[in-house]
């Protein structure tokens, strides 16, 4: 058993990018939700996606 809760992939069906309203991809290795349309990566902390644009990492 791990200390960090796992991200529930079923949640991905309900989540959209807060900036573009587009779909998100799950990056399990980086623990991020990727918005290709916004070129942003939203972090997942303790199993909870942080869907704030100010907390997102910009993708190249």
Residue 29: exposure state from Cβ atoms within 10 A (0-12, 13-18, ≥19): exposed
DSSP character string of 9-21: GGGGGT---TTT-
> What is the per-residue pLDDT across 15-55, written as a single tens digit (0 to 9) for each?
999 999 999 999 999 999 999 999 999 999 998 999 999 99
pLDDT score, position 18: 96
Length of the chain as a residue count:
60
Residue 23: what pLDDT? 95
All domains of the chain in start order, with CATH: 9-58 (2.20.25.10)
* Better-predicted residue by pLDDT, 13 or 57: 57
């Amino acid at each position: 058993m791990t200390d960090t809760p796992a991200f529930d992939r079923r949640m991905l069906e309900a989540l959209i990018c807060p900036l573009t309203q587009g779909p998100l991809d799950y990056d399990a290795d980086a623990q991020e939700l990727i918005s290709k349309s916004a070129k942003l990566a939203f972090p997942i902390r303790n199993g909870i996606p942080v869907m704030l644009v100010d907390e997102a990492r910009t993708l190249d």
